[in-house]
Amino acid sequence: MKNIRFNNVTAKYSNGEGIEIANFDIKQGEFVFLSGPSGAGKTTILKLILMTLFPNRGSVEVGNFNSQTIHTKEIPLLRRQLGCVFQDFRLLDDRNVYENIAFVLRITGHREKYIKRRTFKMLAEVGLSHKRNQMPSQLSGGEQQRIAIARAMANDPFIVLADEPTGNLDPETSSGILDLFKVINERGTAVLMATHNRNLIDTFSYRTLQLQHGRIIG
Amino acid sequence: MNILFFIISEGLKGLFRSKFSTFLTIASLLLTLTLLNIYFLISQNILQKVGELRGRITIEAFLEDGLSENEITKLQQKILQIAKVDTAVFFSKDAALKKFQELFTDDYSQMIEENPLPASFQIRIRLDGGEQNTAQLISKIEKLEGIDEVIFHRKLLTAMNYYSSSLRQKLIFIGVGLLFISFGMLWINIKITLNAKARLIETMELVGAKRSLIRGPFYVQSIFEGMVAGVGSLFLCYLLVYIFDLKSILPYYELFFYPIYAVLISIILSFFTCFLAIRRRI
Ligand SMILES: Nc1ncnc2c1ncn2[C@@H]1O[C@H](COP(=O)(O)OP(=O)(O)OP(=O)(O)O)[C@@H](O)[C@H]1O
Ligand SMILES: [Mg+2]
């Protein structure tokens, strides 16, 4: 069982902003929304899970890793067990769509044969096989986000972290993206999605962590 | 194995993915390396020339009159046995007179009955031992039986030594300066490249790429850039030598074009700069 657990986590930036005494679990296969107004600390929570940021007090457990004991060299290994999707897509803009997905498989040292099979499978799942030779800049926002999701899923993570994945997309495209996350979750992958879109949270009625001023209030 | 292959192929692809930065790096390397090559060529020629001039300084050892041929040969052997003596050419009384007559067109032989010019040895020594050794060597020759007097242009040699060593220092100084300039240009280039790729690098880290895997392709790329620039600068130098017919001005031409070293220096410079810049960043 791979879970995420925040134990009394306080994490502050140098200016005093951040997260205060956060306690919560995300169990395997769960879908959790992280909601709250701008500046509440949603992205900060995701950074703590990705370990680009470390708590000042308390600890963050991600799968087998613990923020207090993890070695710098292990951080890439941790991240390979996570998938991440961002509001601004963050595709590697110097290579085509196929290479973007293949990248995360290459860095784990898979064989070319497997990489090809897996990349084509991921492309098919987000319905963009025909765009595999395009550069990211030649895709629409929605298409870029689909590729980002395909990349996040390529290494078969136990959880996908999504930071406002629909923030830059129109409502119609957004609902398509959300359907993708729903399918991913139904196959057993946990999803943690940060959003301040109330509509979304209401339509899906998943568990929601409500943040305000760096505290979890519900 | 897969990872190594990945790093190398990423590095090679990187050359084409960021064409402008590749171009900039190669161009600046090419420029400074060509300068460095030309500089090397010129400085080696100068040093060689100076060495040659120094080599021309000879010692004249005048002989006492009335030595037999046998005694002269023995004396010559003794001189040649002294350490650092390269050659000792016998210059007879007649030869001296002949030379004298060449210099002064008037025919003195009619005025003087006997040839007053002494026979001599024109001695060449290796000048690598410093002045003190040279002085010792001369006194050794002077003490030999049958030698009347030794003439040696000490001041000329001193000046020559001083000149060539200060010249050498200046040339080294310029060379190091050139190296620094090319290092600086490469440094700025790689900084610009890394800045432009900052977001890309960050994304790679977020999706779980190890640092070594992000750095690796940059190293591979820098090695290839160094190689291309190194070979290119050699071609450019050969071309310059050909166009401006530098062969006639710089006679020590074949000697001082070490193609392998030139390419190696280019690769090392490129890699080393890249290495330092990236270590500070990623
Ligand atoms: N690198 C940083 N340095 C200093 N303060 C920061 C930094 N990043 C975020 N903050 C501050 O921490 C607080 C929480 O930021 P965070 O990015 O987690 O908010 P958020 O909930 O994701 O907001 P949004 O919905 O606008 O993305 C904010 O007050 C923000 O100003
Ligand atoms: Mg945010």
Residue B178: band (very low, low, confident or very high) from pLDDT cuts 50, 70, 90: confident
Domain boundaries, chain B: 2-52+161-281, 58-152
Residue among A93, A94, A111 whose CB faces B2 most closely: A111
Pick the CATH number of A1-81+159-218 from 3.40.50.20, 3.50.50.60, 3.40.50.300, 3.30.950.10: 3.40.50.300
Compute the C-alpha angle A196/A197/A201, nearest 5°.
Answer: 105
Residue A13 in contact with ligand 1 by CB distance below 6 A: yes
Q: Which ligand number lies closest to the CA of residue A52? A: 1
Residue A42 in contact with ligand 1 by CB distance below 6 A: yes
Backbone angles phi, psi at B151, to 5 degrees: -115, 130
Residues of chain A found within 8 Å of residue B204, distances taken between Cβ atoms: 92, 103, 107
Contact status, residue B148 vs residue B93, Cβ threshold 8 Å: no
CB neighbour list of residue B144: distance below 8 Å, 6 or more residues apart: B75, B78, B79
Residue B128: band (very low, low, confident or very high) from pLDDT cuts 50, 70, 90: low
Residue among B13, B18, B207 whose CB faces A79 most closely: B207
Over residues B172-195, the mean pLDDT reads 89
Residues in chain A, how many?
218
Provide the ipTM: 0.95
Query: What tokens does B252 get?
Result: 């020590």
* CA distance linking residue B208 with residue A77, whole number of Å: 6
Q: Where are the alpha helices (DSSP H) in B128-257?
A: 130-143, 154-196, 198-206, 211-243, 246-249
Over residues B89-94, the mean pLDDT reads 86
B107 or B277, which is more confident: B277
Domain boundaries, chain A: 1-81+159-218, 91-156
- pLDDT for B54 beyond 90: no
* CA distance linking residue B24 with residue B31, whole number of Å: 11
- pLDDT for A63 beyond 60: yes
Condensed to tens digits (0 to 9), the pLDDT of residues B98-115 reads 877 777 766 665 666 677
Give residue B254's pLDDT: 57
Contact status, residue B144 vs residue B78, Cβ threshold 8 Å: yes
What is the least distance, in Å, from the CA of A81 to any CA of chain B? 9
Place of tokens 């992958």: A189
* CA distance linking residue B210 with residue B215, whole number of Å: 9
What is the least distance, in Å, from the CA of A91 to any CA of chain B? 8
Contacts with B, A 155-194, CB within 8 Å: 155
Which amino acid, residue B156? L
What is the least distance, in Å, from the CA of B196 to any CA of chain A? 11
Contact status, residue B86 vs residue B171, Cβ threshold 8 Å: no
Condensed to tens digits (0 to 9), the pLDDT of residues B215-268 reads 999 999 999 999 999 999 988 888 888 888 877 777 776 544 567 888 898 999
Residue B71: band (very low, low, confident or very high) from pLDDT cuts 50, 70, 90: confident
B127 or A73, which is more confident: A73
Residue among B3, B204, B206 whose CB faces A109 most closely: B3
B95 or A99, which is more confident: A99
CA of A17 to the centre of ligand 1 (A): 7
Condensed to tens digits (0 to 9), the pLDDT of residues B131-164 reads 677 778 888 888 888 888 888 877 777 777 778 7
Give residue A214's pLDDT: 94
Residue among B2, B18, B203 whose CB faces A109 most closely: B2
Condensed to tens digits (0 to 9), the pLDDT of residues A99-123 reads 999 999 999 999 999 999 999 999 9
User: Is B208 close to A104, i.e. CB distance below 8 A?
Assistant: yes
* Mean pLDDT, all residues of chain B: 84
Q: Which ligand number lies closest to the CA of residue A211? A: 1
Query: What pairing do the DSSP bridges indicate for beta strands B120-125 and B85-91?
Result: antiparallel
Percent of chain A with pLDDT over 90: 92
B252 or A61, which is more confident: A61
CA of A108 to the centre of ligand 2 (A): 28
Give residue B147's pLDDT: 87
Of the candidates B113, B127, B199, B117, the residue with the CA atom closest to the CA atom of residue B156 = B127
Residue A47 in contact with ligand 1 by CB distance below 6 A: no
Query: What tokens does B26 get?
Result: 């190669």
Residues of chain B found within 8 Å of residue A43, distances taken between Cβ atoms: none
State which fold the B58-152 domain adopts: Alpha-Beta Plaits (3.30.70)
Condensed to tens digits (0 to 9), the pLDDT of residues A21-55 reads 999 999 999 999 999 999 999 999 999 999 999 99
User: Is A155 close to B208, i.e. CB distance below 8 A?
Assistant: yes
